Amino acid sequence: MERTYIMVKPDGVQRNVIGEIISRFEKKGFTLVAAKLMVITEAMAERHYEEHTGKPFFEKLVRFITSGPVFAMVWEGPEVIETARLMIGKTNPQEALPGTIRGDLAAQMPNNIIHGSDSTESAEREIAIFFQDSELIDYKKATADWT
Ligand code: RTP
Ligand code: MG
């Protein structure tokens, strides 16, 4: 069973799509393991996006992601990391297909409303940046097809 870090970015929070995004992951059948509204610090943002350090958009990205509250979540399920990336769609909302979260709910770069971990290593690293172990809730849903 995998876990992934999903975050509604400040633009998504402003645009009132937290509920819609939670709903899509719930309806897909994944299990919510942790969630909180938070304003992330510059240090957290720099760690989260460390793979982009030095790129031309890095400073703007850190400013954007710390500009207001984000909704941080951990979701669990089989192949949840890759499936969540498919549900989210391409980085550029103009290229994200209809049916995906970015394709349906976001308009233009860099405001693509949501983040999802891109590998098992990223997921583990990112979850540890935003959540204490004690905040991750272990439970099974009786209705989950795959449990
Ligand atoms: P994310 O990490 O936020 O889930 O997005 P992603 O994997 O689809 O895209 P990634 O390449 O990791 O880029 C991280 C975020 O940086 C901003 N970005 N701006 N050329 C640009 O101006 C540019 N490229 C990337 C986006 O907000 C992107 O989500
Ligand atoms: Mg990324």
The DSSP code sequence of 33-73 is: EEEEEEPPPHHHHHHHTGGGTTSTTHHHHHHHHTSS-EEEE
Instruction: Specify whether 115 is catalytic.
Output: yes
Question: Does the beta carbon of 13 sit less than 6 angstroms from any atom of ligand 1?
Answer: no
ipTM above 0.90, yes or no: yes
**From CA 15, how far away is CA 31, in angstroms rounded?**
24
pLDDT score of 44: 98
- The pTM of the full predicted model, rounded to 2 decimals, is 0.95
**From CA 72, how far away is CA 88, in angstroms rounded?**
15
Asked whether the predicted pLDDT for residue 144 surpasses 70, the reply is no
Query: The domain 2-135 belongs to what CATH superfamily?
Result: Nucleoside diphosphate kinase-like domain (3.30.70.141)
Question: Does the beta carbon of 4 sit less than 6 angstroms from any atom of ligand 1?
Answer: no
Asked whether the predicted pLDDT for residue 20 surpasses 80, the reply is yes
pLDDT score of 146: 65
